[in-house]
Chain A
């Protein structure tokens, strides 16, 4: 049986609803309609009264989830697009993220963000927002790159006692398929060696893992072995796995789809540079989207974000230096 990344997200939510009566789903059009992307297809019918359509009120969606979490429930909030989570930003970073630290009462809310660029989606339906959420203390930020991780990490997100920002990549929704759902998985907080290699550590997460793997494949043909590290979770960040890889390769390139100022790639490089400077044989590099909003036209979009082509060029430059 083949299953897509999107179906895995649906399946994880179905399992969470079936196994834990504290779980409910709340978001625009998630009920009978099954969500803008169909991530909650049929769940309202299967779990009556537990998959609820929200008004177009992101602030209240998140705020009410915090209230429900205080009462012992485990809400899953679906943002229709990650971009619209900015309207609920205050409740996420000031209310949900600070509750446990201030009161010792946990806040187990999952906010699902359909992230990332697909061609033709423009500046307001394409953003990746992991960096901005990871900046705030009190949040867990997950960025699954595989069907298996989409499933197992969403299940784990529901079980985690803290607010989790679950960044699911829209480009992977239909493009990515697996043979079935996993029965075991690496825990949240552990990165994964997606492909072993000895010449360069290429750190990526979410959809960029697949661009990175394509580059590694291309370089293998030329006798260069790139090790691809899939971060899986950007907060917490598994520095140990990255460092161990850099210890093997001596070279580091870090790739992300987000805007270039700060963010996950800068964090990875800062950690390696401060804690593992001696491991590096060359200056580490990073590659991100360009410092403009995400453009609409496919030809502009294709240059705005990193692709196998631009990653390969950056990899060559790290390997040469």
Chain B
């Protein structure tokens, strides 16, 4: 995949402070691209242009982009529903999201699967199924395979919500990762709700990071509204996994600043949470920091925004010119083994 988000140039010679600036600028621009792309899909949804649901990562971009940027080409990434920013930072082309949401047969999912259910397994981007918790063990398996093949230096990362930590699949996969001491990073975005269900009806431990010690994996907590904290915390966990220290569980505190999907007005979200530090908008926080530090001027931010909008509009316009899938061109078979396909028309 060609990088979608500009990555920091190899900055060996640059002074440390300019590296920090560069990292923040790249991450901020990735967050902005994710946010604006999400908003574009939300507006297409409101205009009746999208079949099925639309799921946004609003409020989670700092965390998500940090995961994408901490991974390298050749790593494995299984993002979830709120990871537009992280996907783009990992290298998912803009056209993939556009084609999958708009149902273009030219997309990686060929209109067979939609919206956030997209990926490129051969390029390390594993497409989610809806069943929550199910992706962690798949990442484990990819990493086990590489180890079996004698390959080293890889990391696998996957994102998950607070709600999905209640699944048996989450438990089984974290235990498996710990037993195998795999270089996997599981990033929990504790956005306080699973659809309408608050943390208090989801788990009773003091913090989700307490689960780490139970499995024998390293736990990290961080403030998901703060880009610097996310870049630093996720970067450290990924480095630890890469250098052979076993599975890492990151738990980030933040708030979902949108409905569960665009069909949902999220009126159940406690206004006290909205007004608390958890409810801060990471994009705004990051922008303020860039300006405060003198890392960017307001005109630059406006220009980046305009560039994002232009790229997004171009991707959407391209896909809107593509034809829908032709059901009569489909082979209507789910098997890879061609000679085992039954040719019976309607069974």
Question: What is the interface of chain A, defined by CB distance below 8 A to chain B?
Answer: 28-29, 31-33, 36, 53, 55-57, 59-60, 81, 83-84, 86-87, 119-125, 260-261, 287-288, 290-293, 295-300, 302-304, 314
Contacts and interface: CB of A to CB of B under 8 A. Distances in A.
B338 interface: no
Contact of A298 (B51, B109, B328): B51
Contacts of A31: 201
Given A296-B52, A302-B327, A32 B111 contact: no
Given A288-B347, A296-B113, A56 B324 contact: no
Interface string B328-347: 10101110000000100011
B159 to A, nearest CB: 15
A119 B334 contact: no
A120 to B, nearest CB: 3
A56 B113 contact: no
B131 A29 contact: no
Given A55-B201, A299-B325, A314-B346, 14 more contacts: A28-B194, A36-B195, A55-B203, A56-B164, A87-B167, A120-B51, A123-B113, A125-B130, A260-B347, A288-B347, A292-B112, A298-B51, A299-B324, A304-B332
Interface of B: 50-53, 103, 109, 111-115, 117, 129-133, 163-164, 166-169, 194-197, 201-203, 268, 324-328, 330, 332-334, 342, 346-347
B168 A59 contact: yes
A33 B193 CA distance: 12
B195 A29 contact: yes
Contacts of B201: 31, 53, 55
A119 B51 CA distance: 7
Contacts of B113: 122-123, 295-296
B164 A122 contact: no
A302 B114 CA distance: 15
Contacts of B130: 81, 83-84, 122, 124-125
Contact of A300 (B163, B169, B327): B327
Contact of A29 (B129, B197, B324, B333): B197
B333 A53 contact: no
Contact of B163 (A33, A55, A119, A122): A55
A256 to B, nearest CB: 11
Contact of A122 (B52, B194, B333): B52
Given A119-B51, A292-B333, A296-B112, A303 B166 contact: no
A297 B332 CA distance: 14
Nearest to B102: A297
Nearest to B134: A87
A261 B168 CA distance: 29
A31 B194 CA distance: 13
A48 to B, nearest CB: 15
B52 A292 contact: no
Nearest to B346: A287
Nearest to A290: B332
Contact of A296 (B51, B131, B164, B346): B51
B132 to A, nearest CB: 6
Nearest to B163: A56
Interface of B is mostly: loop
24 contacts: A53-B197, A55-B202, A55-B203, A56-B132, A56-B194, A57-B168, A119-B51, A120-B51, A122-B52, A122-B114, A124-B129, A261-B347, A292-B334, A293-B112, A295-B112, A296-B51, A296-B109, A296-B113, A297-B324, A297-B325, A299-B324, A299-B325, A300-B325, A303-B330
Nearest to A293: B334
What 9 A-B pairs come out closest when comparing CB atoms?
A120-B51, A120-B52, A296-B114, A124-B130, A260-B347, A33-B196, A55-B166, A303-B327, A297-B111
Given A296-B113, A299-B325, A87 B332 contact: no
Contacts of B268: 32-33
Contacts of B167: 56-57, 87
A122 B114 CA distance: 7
A297 B327 CA distance: 10
Nearest to A306: B346
B195 A122 contact: no
B334 A296 contact: no
Contacts of A87: 131, 167-169
Contacts of B50: 120
Contacts of B131: 83-84, 86-87, 124
B131 to A, nearest CB: 6
Contacts of B132: 56
Contacts of B202: 55-56
Contacts of B325: 297, 299-300
Contact of B195 (A28, A83, A124, A304): A28
B327 A291 contact: no
Contacts of A56: 132-133, 163-164, 166-167, 194, 202
Nearest to A57: B166
Nearest to A265: B347
A212 to B, nearest CB: 16
Contacts of A261: 347
A66 B194 CA distance: 25
Nearest to A33: B196
Nearest to A80: B195
A53 B166 CA distance: 13
A108 B115 CA distance: 39
A292 B332 contact: yes
